[in-house]
């Protein structure tokens, strides 16, 4: 079993903690070719004219591996950051997480630290990978969009219209909302680009190692 870090935004952290998010999609970084398959072992196999030319192993692990979540954070005791220790998963009450902060912290002048700089011992969420596959972004189903933490709701008229016009498709509510989220993270046109993505399924590991 291997452990790897993974970044999540505040809303997605909340969705994980609420038990609503059990999947994440990340772009497959590869050469620009047309075809893709997966060999059942979490490897993306890209081919051209049925000739394998590039095999990529999922950078987020295989079934049974673990991911520890990096999120935006802060502390009232900067001097403790010099302690290179792992607290064994216990609650560190001197660590604050922006995903569950309010404006009071902002008014106190808290200096938030980027998620990329969160050390392993400060992470409060550990995930166990339960499945890995590769698919086109737009192949996401309504059920999978909900597993991404989406709660179907009314979209703004402009956002809804712009996304519904892509290739003339009419997307289900949760998929449409996920498309809007994807574009907010990856930029305009990123949904229409329809890249190959790693689909990583996971469950949260509770303190003490239980799932």
CA 29 to mean position of chain CA atoms? 15
Give the HSE-up count for residue 113: Cα atoms under 13 Å, Cβ half-sphere.
18
Per-residue pLDDT of 116-151, as tens digits, reads 989 888 899 999 999 998 889 999 998 999 999 998
* Mean model confidence pLDDT for the chain: 79
| Same domain, residue pair 66 and 80 | no
- Does residue 126 sit in helix, strand or coil? strand
Note the pTM of the prediction, 2 decimals. Answer: 0.79
CA distance 197 to 189: 16
Per-residue pLDDT of 166-190, as tens digits, reads 554 666 778 888 988 899 899 989 9
| Same domain, residue pair 134 and 113 | no
The pLDDT score that the predictor gives to residue 82 is: 52
| Same domain, residue pair 102 and 36 | no
Which residue would you say has higher pLDDT here, 38 or 174?
174
Per-residue pLDDT of 66-85, as tens digits, reads 999 999 988 766 655 555 45
The pLDDT score that the predictor gives to residue 88 is: 44
How many domains would you assign to the chain? 2
Domain that holds residue 47: 3-71+125-209
């Amino acid at each position: 079993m291997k452990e790897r870090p993974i970044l999540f935004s505040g809303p997605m952290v909340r969705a994980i903690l609420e038990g609503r998010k059990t999947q994440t999609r990340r772009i497959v970084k590869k050469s620009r070719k047309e075809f893709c398959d997966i060999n059942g072992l979490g490897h993306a196999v890209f081919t051209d004219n049925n000739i394998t030319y590039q095999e990529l192993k999922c950078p987020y692990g295989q079934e049974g591996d673990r991911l520890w979540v990096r999120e935006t954070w802060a502390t009232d005791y900067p001097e403790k950051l010099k302690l290179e220790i792992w607290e064994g998963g216990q609650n560190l009450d001197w660590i604050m997480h922006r995903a569950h902060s309010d404006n009071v912290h902002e008014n106190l002048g808290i200096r938030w630290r980027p998620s990329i700089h969160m050390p392993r011992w400060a992470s409060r969420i550990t995930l166990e990978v339960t499945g890995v596959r590769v698919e086109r972004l737009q192949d996401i189903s309504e059920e999978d969009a909900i597993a991404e933490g989406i709660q179907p709701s009314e979209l703004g008229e402009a956002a809804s219209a712009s996304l519904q016009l892509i290739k003339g498709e009419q997307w289900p509510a949760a998929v449409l909302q996920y498309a809007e989220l994807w574009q907010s993270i990856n930029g305009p046109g990123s949904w229409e680009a329809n890249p190959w993505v790693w689909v990583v399924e996971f469950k949260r590991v509770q303190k003490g190692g239980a799932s």
